[in-house]
Each structure stands twice: as structure tokens, then as C-alpha cells.
Amino acid sequence: MAGKTRQSVPSGYVSGEYAVGTKCFTVIDPDRKNVVDDGRGERRIAVRMYYPVRKEDTAGHKYAKLFTDAKKAAIRKGFHTGDISDDANYAEFYEDIPPADGVKFPLIMFSMGIGSYVESNTYLLCALASHGYIIASVGHAHEAVENDYDDGSTDLLDKRIKKVMYTNMIGAVIAQTSFLRKKVGHREAVELFDAFQNKYTPYLKVRTAEWRKDAEKALEAVKERYSDNIDLTCGVGASGHSLGGCLAYNLCRYNNEFRCGINIDGALFGDYPDNTMTRPFCQISCMENINCETRPFLDTEADTYSVIFDDMKHIGFTDAKFYIPVRLISGKLPPEEMFRHLEYCHITFFDKYLKGADVMFDSLPSDKVTYTKIR
């Protein structure tokens, strides 16, 4: 997507029976104030929808733009990419086409990580929509690199977050490097991570609960706007990357509307009482981060899976894998291989637990990705 640094895009990522529609809208939470930026104003939540449309309804339509000019500029600055040219600024989705009529689809709520953007995993979400899912990607005010709102206004990442994210950045880096390299069991890893977040990242520990409120408010709006199109028979699914993946776990623990979830390489910040997880969950991790992502494997009575990627870095689980060529940042695993596994995990997992399909969540052949059923 970045004009000067684009490597490739996943071929055929809209691989299902449907084409994909998109729609952006703003949700206002009048009961909450911003706790970042200047602390004033009602909490705003940016939402981008991805949903199935009939292929015949796309005749004569062009693919929609992926980013506004403001977002292109913010991504270029925040991710140090080249200019995003007009001929690269699109995804295989369409605006102003309604969802396929006469059929209802399961709903998945998705969330990006801090400093990212609502379109961070557009290829994946388009793939899901083409296979018969409606997905709402949620943006968090002043905690994304940029958000666009219905009234034409925007907001940027609050630079003060970097200053409050760690109580002591140097100490946090040293402590994190140490415990991530330890060879320990799941429970000891959780204990080490809890000690780390209590000492070094109290800000991130409490943000998960605030992001949950964003997702729940967005869910209310989505259910109202798309009541004729969504099937809630098996509840709502959750997924996300980084802190958004942590949010997916949090929603499955605390909100009964969410029936299953996937965490894409998100450290499990937050407090979790000694109750039992009852929702099927899939934890996707890169090898170097696994020690801060073992909580889903403890105290659960539901189907639980671990998918561990070798030769991967944290940011490589987003679309950035396709346009940031620096392997030190995105990992050595080829982007097409990463995407093939990420797509398989999501479609197979949600087909099983949101559609009730008789499928096995097994594995794709690979010597770089390890699938394990924990329970």
C-alpha cells in the first residue's frame, strides 16, 4: 500500500463467494469523556464495516479508497513508509453497496493496537467478509495513528501516551527482554508478566477496560444499524491485534454477548479474577512474545488453541507485513505465508464456533507455524 515500499499483496484474499462492502461511521458515547488528549469532549469511536455483498451488485462500481489523505499522511509519518500513491490506495471492497439481502451473517468485532489504525488488517477482514461474516473494526480516539469522523474532523495519536505508557522505559525494556527469554511454564509466565505490568505498565493495564467500553458501545450501534443483516444465534466473535487482541480476550471473559475470540499477538494486560474462561479462544503468537500471552491456556473449560509463528515480528501480523520490507520489524516469514495461516485460523475458527460448522481446527502444513490444541 505504500507507493515506494510496497512489496506485494496477498493474492486472491477476497476468496469467498461474496464480494465485500465497506462503510465508515462514528459512534458517540455521551456518558464518557476522553481520558487522553485534552480530556474534554464526549468519547468518539470510529468504526469501519466490512460485509458481504453479492458479486452481481458490484457491476459498474470501482474499489473504494482505503485511506483518507489525513490517514495517509499519518501512516507515512508514524510508520516511516513512502508516499501512498493513488493507484495503491485501495482495497478490494466497495462503498455504497448494501449487504447481501435475504441472508444474515455472524458478527465479529475487531480492534487494532495502540498507534495503529482501523484498516490495519483490511486484507484479513475482507477475506472474512467474503466468506460470510460482518466485521466491525473499532478505532479508539487519540490512541490510533489517526481517526476519521463523520463530521469531517480527525484526531491523531496523543504523543503523551508514549510518555505515560511505561513508568521507566529503560527498566521496562530490560525487564521485558529478560522474562520473554525465560523458559518457563504457562502459569509462571503469567506471574512474571503480571509483576511486569504492575511495575512498568499500569497505564496499559487499565486501558483494556476502557477499550472494552468502546467496543461495547460500537456493538450497540452495529446491532441497531445492521439488525436485518446480522445473525446473533451463536453470539458475537472478537478478534484483534496487539492491545486489540488483548481486548478480544477481555471481551470473552467479561461480556456474555461474546462467545469466542482470537488474540493476534497481544500481551494480556489487565486484571483477571480467579474465575474460569468459558469461551473458545485461539491465541496467535510470534515466538518471542509467547511468555506474555499464556493466560488463555490457564483456568479454562473451553476449547483453546495456540498457534505460534517462527520468524515473525509483532507488526508482521498486520497489513504492514506487505509494505514494510525491513525484516527486523516485520519478520523473515514471507508475507504470503503469514497471511495464509492468519486467514485459515480466522475462517476455520469462526466457522466452527460462530456458524456451528462441522470442521476441524487443525493446521496448515508448515515448518514455521505450530498449531496446538491446549484443551
CATH value at residue 193: 3.40.50.1820
- Tell me what pLDDT residue 326 has: 65
- Tell me what pLDDT residue 108 has: 98
- Tell me what pLDDT residue 172 has: 87
Find the helix or strand (DSSP H, E) in which 188 lies: helix 186-200
- Tell me the three-class secondary structure of 56-92, residue by residue: HHHCCCCCCECCCHHHHHHHHHHHCCCCCCHHHCECC
Give the cell for residue 191: 506471574
Total domains in the chain come to 1
- β-strand pairing of 369-373 with 146-148: unpaired
**Is 13 inside any structural domain?**
no
- Tell me what pLDDT residue 4 has: 45
**How far, in Å, CA of 235 to CA of 321, rounded?**
31
- Contact status, residue 296 vs residue 249, Cβ threshold 8 Å: yes
- Tell me what pLDDT residue 81 has: 76
**Is 14 inside any structural domain?**
no
- Tell me what pLDDT residue 283 has: 98
**Is 3 inside any structural domain?**
no
**Is 7 inside any structural domain?**
no
**Is 47 inside any structural domain?**
yes
- Contact status, residue 214 vs residue 31, Cβ threshold 8 Å: no
Find the helix or strand (DSSP H, E) in which 29 lies: strand 19-33
**What's the helix, strand, coil split of the chain in %, to 5?**
35, 20, 40
**How far, in Å, CA of 195 to CA of 157, rounded?**
28
**Is 5 inside any structural domain?**
no
Q: Quote the domain boundaries for residue 126.
A: 19-373
Give the cell for residue 55: 458479486
- Contact status, residue 315 vs residue 330, Cβ threshold 8 Å: yes
Please choose, from the candidates 233, 255, 244, the residue with its C-alpha nearest in 3D space to the C-alpha of residue 140: 244
- Tell me what pLDDT residue 5 has: 45
pTM: 0.94
Q: Within the chain, which residues score under 70 in pLDDT? A: 1-9, 34-40, 325-326
Taking the CA atoms of residue 316, residue 318, residue 320 and residue 324 in that order, the dihedral angle to the nearest 10 degrees is 0
**Is 9 inside any structural domain?**
no
- Tell me what pLDDT residue 131 has: 98
**Is 49 inside any structural domain?**
yes
